[in-house]
């Protein structure tokens, strides 16, 4: 396997694992906490905000690591 293939495989696995964790730990509890459809949809939209913040923190930490590494 080439180095590029390994990097792509790690990225795909990390994305899949992260999406599964988001679904199981954030989205499902938010969805099941409410009974009306509009409340569930609103909770889903708010969890997307949480996902965006978590991704932003990860990108920021990775950018800082790259900046300070070299």
- Between CA 1 and CA 41 the distance in angstroms is 43
User: What is the mean pLDDT of each successive set of 10 residues along the chain, which is 70 residues long?
Assistant: 93 94 94 95 94 93 91
Shortest CA distance to 22 belongs to which of 13, 30, 10?
30
pLDDT of residue 70: 73
Q: Where are the domains of the chain?
A: 3-69
Convert the chain into a string of H (helix), E (strand) and C (coil).
Answer: CCHHHHHHHHHHHHHHHHHHHHHHHHHHHHHHCCCCHHHHHHHHHHHHHHHHHHHHHHHHHHHHHHHHHC
């Amino acid at each position: 396997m080439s180095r590029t293939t390994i990097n792509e495989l790690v990225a795909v696995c990390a994305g899949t694992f992260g999406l599964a964790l988001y679904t199981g730990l954030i989205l499902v509890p938010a969805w099941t906490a409410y009974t009306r459809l509009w409340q569930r949809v609103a909770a889903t939209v708010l969890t997307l905000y949480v996902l965006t913040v978590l991704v932003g923190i990860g990108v920021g930490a990775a950018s800082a690591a790259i900046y300070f590494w070299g």
